[in-house]
Chain A
Amino acid sequence: MTEALDKTPSLEKEDAVPLVVLSKVNKHFGALHVLQDIDLTITQGEVVVVIGPSGSGKSTLCRTINRLEPIDSGSITIDGRALPQEGRALARLRSDVGMVFQSFNLFAHKTVLQNVMLGPVKVRRETRQAAELRARQLLDRVGVGNQADKYPAQLSGGQQQRVAIARALAMQPKVMLFDEPTSALDPEMVNEVLETMRSLAADGMTMVVVTHEMGFARSAANRVIFMADGRIVEENTPDEFFGNPRSDRARDFLSKILHH
């Protein structure tokens, strides 16, 4: 079996609008070639799940999309605009890209409500009233409305991660990036976060999700991307990918993670 890149035509929707486009993206960490000629187009409303073995470059891929990691060559555009150099223009573009981290990264010195309001007030220059109104709606939506005045450290991991999702949503982003959002959670809290993400997906949010949660990939993804050694080795619909993986690497990987 070849490890050739599979682009199945059935994946492309008719009226698909490309939102995030990576072409020929390369990145090194010193001698390590973490991203190798990555070509990836994510269309509006699409949910793309990225899986792959540890160290394959999934986090790095995710982080290049809002330029938390700069790239060495190639191009990345978001909604038709190329990522600028570090500076105000980049900051503006980043505000359209929500990011959810494995370790939540809620602002420890701010309350839950302040965490969610900070971006809209300081970056978008919204009035406090408008920002607070939407922040409270979002906190209700992710199910932590009654925790608004607590500090992050007083919340469970699952609650913190849902606040982090609300914080990202408060910027009304065009696309949301999730880097292993449930990996730092106790097992009983994984589902509450995945549920929140599922409902986001159902509402049509464009999402890139790095995860080891195969159940989520099967139920919520439009497309699964399998990475190994800095390359996209395979991409397909979840059904095809899990039912009929084409590359040896993917088969090997799946047999390891699905058997425990």
Chain B
Amino acid sequence: MSVLRDNWDLIHKGFVETLWLTLWCGVVALVLGTLLAACRVSPVPPLRWFGTAYVNIIRNTPLTLLMFFVALGFPKLDIKFDYFTFAVIAVGGYTAAFICEAVRSGINTVPLGQAEAARSLGMTFGQTLSLVVLPQALRAVIPPIGSLLIAMVRNSAIAGAFNVDELFGVNSTLVENGENVLWVFLWIAVGYLTITLTLSAVFALLEKKLAVAR
């Protein structure tokens, strides 16, 4: 308990930072992932190629390498942000590749006739996707997206290695300060669990809601 009491400010700050990381990475992953999925099913070949290449490269690269590439490589290209932003780019961009595949397999559960009916009414590709196909794919993609976002929260710990004061970073600081390692780990784990379990609950709820609404 004393670990928590003595370092409340630090831990609290780390928790909030991890929350923000989760939020931003989640937004980037969901938006980019959906756009990538749209690319992968689009009638325009270069967009399809781009989507496929992105997914195959990013998904098959270790996140740590990606984080190094962004945090150390981008400044060399004169792209200068703080480490928090770099972490959002790396973790969000990484998760987006997985979200893309989840959304794409969700799209494949929607019968082809739905898109054909939409197109024959004169809808554009974007309208067909956003008004007819994606809403029907949603139910199928909620469970996998839930697990992907939870994995993302865990992956966000990587930012701690880059001077972002999120939970994992706080963890190292406390251990260096000579606090009891076991207790530090425990409280940090509680912090992550709070976020991931809340996420699980939210997604379970969403799943139930969508199942009821036909």
Contacts and interface: CB of A to CB of B under 8 A. Distances in A.
B116 to A, nearest CB: 6
Interface of B, secondary structure class, is: helix
A167 interface: yes
Contact of A101 (B113, B136, B214): B113
Interface string A92-123: 11111111010101111100000000110011
Contact of A153 (B43, B119, B123, B214): B214
A91 B117 contact: no
Interface in B126-158: 127, 131-132, 135-136
A107 B123 contact: no
14 contacts: A88-B124, A94-B120, A95-B121, A101-B113, A105-B113, A105-B114, A105-B116, A105-B117, A107-B132, A108-B214, A109-B135, A118-B131, A123-B127, A168-B121
Given A95-B122, A109-B214, A123-B122, A68 B117 contact: no
What band does the interface of chain A fall in when counting residues whose beta carbon is under 8 Å from B?
20 to 34
A122 B127 contact: yes
Interface residues of B, number: 20
B116 A91 contact: no
Interface of A: 66, 68, 86-88, 91-99, 101, 103, 105-109, 118-119, 122-124, 151, 153, 164, 167-168, 171
B122 A94 contact: yes
B124 A91 contact: yes
A68 B116 contact: yes
A119 B43 contact: no
A222 B72 CA distance: 74
Contacts of B118: 107
Contacts of A92: 122
A109 B134 CA distance: 11
A95 B123 CA distance: 8
A240 to B, nearest CB: 32
B122 A119 contact: yes
B103 to A, nearest CB: 16
Given A86-B43, A109-B214, A123-B127, A118 B121 contact: yes
A107 B214 contact: no
A94 B124 CA distance: 10
Contacts of A96: 122
Contact of A123 (B111, B116, B117, B121): B121
A73 B111 CA distance: 29
Given A86-B43, A107-B132, A91 B113 contact: no
Nearest to A121: B131
B212 to A, nearest CB: 13
Nearest to A96: B122
Contacts of B131: 118, 122
B136 A109 contact: yes
Nearest to A101: B113
Contacts of B121: 94-95, 118-119, 123, 167-168, 171
Given A103-B113, A109-B136, A68 B124 contact: no
